[in-house]
Amino acid sequence: MPPGLKQHNSHRPNRPESGDSRASVYEILKQVPVGVYHIDLVNLRLLMVNDYMCKVSGYTEEEFLALNPMDILTSQSRTTLYQRLQRMAG
């Protein structure tokens, strides 16, 4: 965890409630024909993955969400993410 960011200790990621605008966006993203996943940048956890990403990765949704997001990013993407997190932490 980069310094300056707060750790959230919930076991499961916050899922949007039905009727929440994020729930509607998630439902749309679940169906698009490209791989999409959502990372919680504070806790570095996967919050959502769509069906296409599961299909091409070979993981079930549950398996994919249990992965460490750092393990699915390229080294360049990890570096970029850490730089952005450090900027956010100010």
Closest to 2 (Cα-Cα) out of 80, 63, 60, 75: 80
- Give pTM, 2 decimals: 0.67
Structure confidence at residue 15 (pLDDT): 55
17-55 pLDDT per residue, tens: 555 777 788 889 999 999 999 999 888 899 999 999 999
- The answer to whether 38 and 65 are in contact (CB under 8 A) is no
State the sign of the Cα–Cα–Cα–Cα dihedral 14, 59, 50, 53.
positive
